[in-house]
Chain A
Amino acid sequence: MQDFADSIAIKVKFVLPKLLGASKCYNLIMNKFFEFLNSSVGRKWLMALTGLFLCLFVVVHMSGNLALFKSDGGLAFNQYAVFMTTFPPIKVVSYINYALILLHALNGFYLVYRNKKARPVKYEGKKDNGPVSWSSRNMGLLGSILFVFIILHMGNFWREFHFSPMEVLRYTTNGVTGETQIAAIPYEQFVGPKHYYENGNEIVIVKNLYGEVAEAFTSPLYVLFYVISMFALSFHLMHGFQSAFQTLGIRAQNFKGIIQGIGTAVFGVLIPLLFAAMPVYFLFFK
């Protein structure tokens, strides 16, 4: 007992100050970190790092959505939706992703505010922008369009998928012929997505998000909004992707061309084009 009391006393006398000292050090590091983050370069670093993560997300999201183009009654797409919302590592990453979207947007809005404050009186002379790209001058506007799009997009598909009653389908694929039969199941009987084998048949029970998507894309107005938003995505990433590398300080002459090439071809053209192709495909070809 005495030993125990002694050990406590020793801990209080010697270890505690050290721990406090360590927390002081921690505070110092955190202060430095926040000082860095609040500087204009720090804030731009935050934009660049979150932005590049979101670029990666866009690639993954787009490749998954390609399942929409499959003519299988939505089986692949609905299974993909289940995988994305139940597989734990993806779930963790998706919450990180939501946080980073918010961080990117809020930091962006703050930067726009701070940058506007740096020029209180506008120029009168008609501005000749020379080689300066339109995208680079309108990142705040483009980002705002995308932010509204993301909110509506999540309110539409994400919220409904998670919280609203929705059609449930049972896909029965014959193990021999490979033919798939689709049957609706009452929502009340739905106890979660299932994937199992029965009498040599592969059975998948899932919410029909594919049906929701197909239905949403019957509205020309929604499709138009979607396509406009993808134009915004194109212009936002056309500047954003390569600008992120400049902000991070990665700019060797020969490397710059590669980055600009990827930024324009992949993020400026390919990805927005494939995203925009989805609603157009559903509106006109389904």
Chain B
Amino acid sequence: MSGNMNITLKVWRQKNKSDAGRFETYQAKHISPDMSFLEMMDVMNEQLIKDGKDPVAFDHDCREGICGMCSMYINGRAHGPNKGVTTCQLHMRSFKSGDTIVVEPWRASAFPVLKDLIVDRAAFDRIQQAGGFVGINTGSAPDANSIPIQKHLAEEAFNAAACIGCGACVAACKNSSAMLFMSAKVSQYALLPQGQPERKLRVLNMMKAHEEAGFGACTNTEACEAECPKGISVTNIARLNRDFVAASFTGE
């Protein structure tokens, strides 16, 4: 077809955790501009399989922009050049035919590369497990409106809860810091009455998990906010800082 594109891809290939890794150059031919970036990767992989080569491994799941699984660093940007979208929602019309696109995995010592473009984001799970929960009574479900919550706080909490844990904040941060992720997870509970019982312990334990994973510290460059596909605000980081200091000096 006439409108189709030919793309040169410079892709990071790495066999496993211990492999040093290197860039390989591939051609993706006859790509429809309406394909998503992942569909373009699928087409390229089909060709690699036909040629008897190892296809490029990458993470993906829902392909609807809500699961947080896809994780490519495209042309120096987490999730590519467009604002507020994940890689699966990035379409080839955002590029020009003949472009060379550099595709890399998230780079962070806390996110070791497992294979090619797949990184191990278990460090996020450990942060979440350290404090991303609330204690509730078992038994019959309580009435939904029994606890009054101010509208603007509910909105703020929802905005924080929009975090899909994709790790773009870590990838975009020059320090590979997970402050934006952690602050979203802290804020979504800290803003609501249900989150108050564990508020201090939560932030202390999450911070501990953050440090142990080897993420960097925050320099307030706000690159994370600019790259976050869900538009999580760095206001949450200010809240995290306040809560952490309060918990450090007044917690048990």
Contact = CB atoms under 8 A, between A and B. Distances in A.
Given A41-B207, A41-B240, A119 B76 contact: no
A136 B221 contact: yes
A118 B214 contact: yes
Given A40-B177, A132-B223, A246-B237, A124 B217 contact: no
B138 interface: no
B210 A40 contact: yes
Interface string A60-95: 000000000000000000000000000000000000
Contacts of A249: 238-243, 245
Contacts of A136: 219-222
Interface residues of A, number: 41
B75 interface: yes
Contacts of A128: 75-77, 81
Interface in A88-121: 111, 114-115, 117-121
A123 B76 contact: yes
B164 interface: no
A118 B177 contact: yes
A136 B214 CA distance: 21
Interface string B170-198: 00001111010000000000000000000
Contact of A118 (B23, B215, B220, B242): B215
Given A119-B175, A125-B75, A41 B244 contact: yes
B248 A114 contact: no
Interface stretch (B43-51, B88-96, B103-111): B103-111
Contacts of B234: 246
B37 interface: no
Interface of B is mostly: mixed
A120 B109 contact: yes
Contact of A139 (B219, B226, B243, B249): B219
Interface string A111-153: 1001101111111111111111100110100000000000000
B238 A40 contact: no
A133 B73 CA distance: 20
B175 A125 contact: no
A99 to B, nearest CB: 22
Contact of A40 (B12, B218, B235, B243): B218
Nearest to B222: A132
B55 interface: no
Interface stretch (A12-20, A42-50, A276-284): A42-50
A7 B23 CA distance: 80
Interface string B40-71: 00000000000000000000000000000000
15 contacts: A40-B179, A40-B216, A41-B207, A44-B218, A44-B241, A45-B245, A115-B216, A115-B219, A118-B175, A119-B216, A122-B107, A124-B10, A125-B75, A126-B76, A247-B220
B74 interface: yes
Contact of A129 (B12, B214, B223, B238): B223
B239 A246 contact: no
Nearest to A246: B220
A250 interface: yes
B214 A117 contact: yes
A197 interface: no
Given A36-B248, A41-B240, A118-B176, 6 more contacts: A36-B245, A119-B174, A124-B104, A239-B220, A246-B237, A251-B235
B85 to A, nearest CB: 14
> When A and B form their complex, which 5 residue pairs have the shortest distance between CB atoms, in order from nearest?
A249-B242, A40-B217, A118-B216, A115-B175, A125-B76
